Amino acid sequence: MTTPPSAVRSATEWLSARARWQPLEGLFWFSAFAAVFLFPERHLILTEIAWLGLFALSLDLILGYAGIISLGHAAFFGVGAYTAALLAKHEIINEPVLALLASGLVAMALGFVTSFLVLRGSDLTRLMVTLGVALLLRELANSFGWLTGGADGLQGVTIKPVFGIFRFDMFGHTGYVYSLSVLFILFLIARRLVNSPFGLSLLAVKGNPLRASAIGVSVDARMVAIYTVAAGYAGIAGALLAQTTAFASLEVFSFDRSADLLLVLIIGGAGYLYGGLIGAIIFKFMQDYLSVLTPQYWPFWIGLVLVVIVLVGRDRITTWTAPIRLFAARLDWRTFARREAAASKDQCQ
C-alpha cells in the first residue's frame, strides 16, 4: 500500500499546527515590550510580573505538561535567589547574566536530585513531598545564618551592571528590560521544547503513563528531565528577584509563595504556556489594586477568585481558559482557511 503524498502533507501540517505562532501571541509580546516605553512609571510592578510569570511558566512545564503537581516550587526559586545574591555579595560572579545562568544551574542540580522523590505516588504524596523539600530548605537557610544572613535576610548585596554596561536603577527601568528579555528567551526555549517530540512524550506521560511505557517511553527519565529543566527556570526566576531587588530573604522559600504560584497558574490556566504569564499579570495587578483598596482583605479576594474559577471550570480547573484559546486559534487565518476549505469540500460531496 502506498500513501499519497497529499495525505502526508496534510498530516505534516496538522502535526506542526500546535507549534505555529498565533497573531495573539505576537500581540502579547509586542505589548510586553511596548510597555518599556509606554509605562515607565510601572516598571517596578512589571518587573515583578516578569519574574512571577517565569516562575509560573516553570510550574506549567511540570504541571501542565507532565502532570506533576507541586506545592513546594519555591524551593528552586529560593535556591536561585540565594545563589544569585551570594554570588553578587561575595563578588564571585559579577556579571548578572552569568550569575543568572549559574543560579539556574544550581537550581537544576537540586531539581535533578529531588525529582526522584516525585516519580512515584499520588498527587497528594507529591504535594506533601514537594512541600517538605521547600520547608526543609527554608530551615537550612535559616540555620546557616553565617552564610545566608538568617532571618534578617542577605544584606549588602550590590548588583553590577548587566554586561558591565546597564546599571540597575531604583525605578526598575533596567530591571524590567532585563527580566522581560530573560523571560522572553526562556519562553521561546520552552515553546520549542513543548512542541517537540520530547514535549509530545510529556503529554503522553501525563495522559497515560501505562501506555507511555508500553510504547517504549521511559516515563521516569522523562519526568526527571522536565522536573530538572523546570527547576532551572524557577531558579532563574528567583535569581531575577534577587538581582532586581539586590536582596534575598527566607521568604523566598515560603509556603505562601508556592501556594500563590499554584493560584497564578490556575488563574491563567495550565498547559498552554501563556497561562502562567497571564495569571501573573492578573494576580499582580489584582494584588496591587485590591491591597490598596482593602489591605487586610486581600486574601479574601484571592480566595473568592479561586472559588469562582473552580466553579466555572468545574473539575477541570486547569483548562477553564480553553474557550479563550479556542477563540484565539480561530483568529489564526490558516486555521480559518483550512476550515473554510474543508467546509466547501463537504458541500461539494
Partner 1 sequence: MTVVLETIDLTKRFAGIVAANNIALRIARGARHALIGPNGAGKTTLINLLTGVQRPTSGRILLDGEDISGLPTHERVGRGIVRTFQINQLFGDLTPLETLGLAVSERRGQGLDWWRIVGTRPDLITEAVEILERFRLTDVINERTAVLPYGKQRLLEIAVAIACRPRVLLLDEPAAGVPEDERHEILRAVAALPADVTVLLIEHDMDIVFSFADRISVLVSGALFAEGTPEEIARDPRVKAVYLGEEIVDA
Contact flags string 168-197 toward partner 1, x per CB under 8 A? ------------------------xx-xxx
φ, ψ of residue 72 to 5 degrees: the values are -145, 30
Check binding of 12 to partner 1 (CB under 8 A).
yes
Return the CA Rg of the chain: 21
Check binding of 329 to partner 1 (CB under 8 A).
no
The alpha helices in the chain, defined as continuous H runs, are 5-17, 23-38, 43-60, 74-89, 96-115, 123-143, 145-148, 173-194, 197-207, 209-214, 219-245, 255-268, 274-293, 298-313, 322-331, 333-348
The answer to whether residues 70 and 118 touch, using CB atoms and an 8 Å cutoff, is yes
| Minimum separation from the CB atom of position 6 to partner 1 (A) | 10
Stretch of 12-20, 29-37, 70-78, 302-310 lying at the interface with partner 1 (CB under 8 A): 12-20
For 349, the 3-state DSSP assignment is: coil
Query: Buried b / exposed e across 276-292, counting CB within 10 Å, b at 16+?
Result: bbbbbbebbeebeebee
Check binding of 40 to partner 1 (CB under 8 A).
no
Check binding of 294 to partner 1 (CB under 8 A).
no
Q: What is the dihedral of CA 56, 91, 142, 128, to 10 degrees?
A: 30
For 149, the 3-state DSSP assignment is: coil
Beta bridge pairs of residue 166:
162
Using CB under 8 A, pick the residue from 165, 215, 292, 348 that binds partner 1.
215
| Residue 25 vs 95, nearer CB to partner 1 | 25
Stretch of 1-9, 32-40, 93-101, 124-132 lying at the interface with partner 1 (CB under 8 A): 1-9
Check binding of 217 to partner 1 (CB under 8 A).
yes
Binding residues for partner 1, rule CB under 8 A, total 36
| Residue 97 vs 219, nearer CB to partner 1 | 219
| Minimum separation from the CB atom of position 58 to partner 1 (A) | 16
Check binding of 14 to partner 1 (CB under 8 A).
yes
Stretch of 155-163, 167-175, 215-223, 247-255 lying at the interface with partner 1 (CB under 8 A): 215-223
Interface positions with partner 1 (CB under 8 A): 1, 3, 7-8, 11-16, 18-19, 192-193, 195-201, 203-204, 207-208, 210-219, 225
